[in-house]
Chains A and B, each alone.
Chain A
């Protein structure tokens, strides 16, 4: 069976510090991968998605970036965090076909102070 991991679970960072969040998927190959942010327990904002190694689509211009160095690894980064980057970050994966379900990881709670 497939599983998706995110770490860390919780992170408190000062403004201006760098960020690296990691997501890995097990039990599947060549998945689509996604990063979402959720503010205040409400709607999901799609940040990035990837259909293959080194292929990243950015949905929102901001100070975040994403990379996919390996088939089942997706990393969210920032060089300098802003207060507005606080939120709940969710990684998800899906198969390639249109009817495929997206499966979400447990999330990372980021607080920027």
Chain B
């Protein structure tokens, strides 16, 4: 079975400081990993994904994530947080080979960036 854990319900950082939102996963086989962001009363927006290759993945809005196979982690990072980054962030996983199976999502982490 596949699963995703986001150990922090909430993360608070000061504007301009680096931010990290943590994600660990469990799959049988190799993972496809995704990060999404959700603003209030909106659908989820895709940020980035890891499929294969370089462990450091760059995505939208200056976000990046590092795939660490030994720690089964895929933490989301940004060097300098903006107030506008405040939102709900979801990590998701699908195992390879997976065929037509839905993504498995974590419970979400609420990021608050304080001015």
A32 to chain B: closest residue by CB: B100
Interchain CB contact under 8 A, A98 and B44: no
Interchain CB contact under 8 A, B32 and A99: yes
A residues contacting the other copy or chain, number (CB 8 A): 23
Knowing A43-B105, A99-B51, say if A51 contacts B100 (CB, 8 Å): yes
B98 contacts A by Cβ under 8 Å: yes
- Measured between beta carbons, the chain B residues less than 8 angstroms from A51 are 100
B34 contacts A by Cβ under 8 Å: yes
Q: Report B16 CB to chain A, min CB distance, Å.
A: 26
Considering only residues 56-115 of chain B, those with a C-beta below 8 Å from chain A are: 88, 90, 92, 94-103, 105-108
Q: Report A12 CB to chain B, min CB distance, Å.
A: 15
Which 7 residue pairs spanning A and B have beta carbons closest together?
A: A104-B43, A98-B98, A43-B107, A104-B44, A51-B100, A99-B51, A44-B105
- Please name 17 further chain A to chain B contacts, defined as beta carbons within 8 Å, in addition to the given A49-B102, A107-B41, sorted by A numbering: A41-B88, A42-B107, A43-B106, A43-B108, A44-B105, A90-B43, A92-B44, A96-B100, A98-B95, A99-B32, A99-B51, A101-B34, A103-B46, A104-B45, A106-B43, A107-B43, A109-B41
- Residues of chain A whose beta carbon lies under 8 Å from any beta carbon of chain B: 32, 34, 41-44, 46, 49, 51, 88, 90, 92, 96, 98-99, 101-107, 109
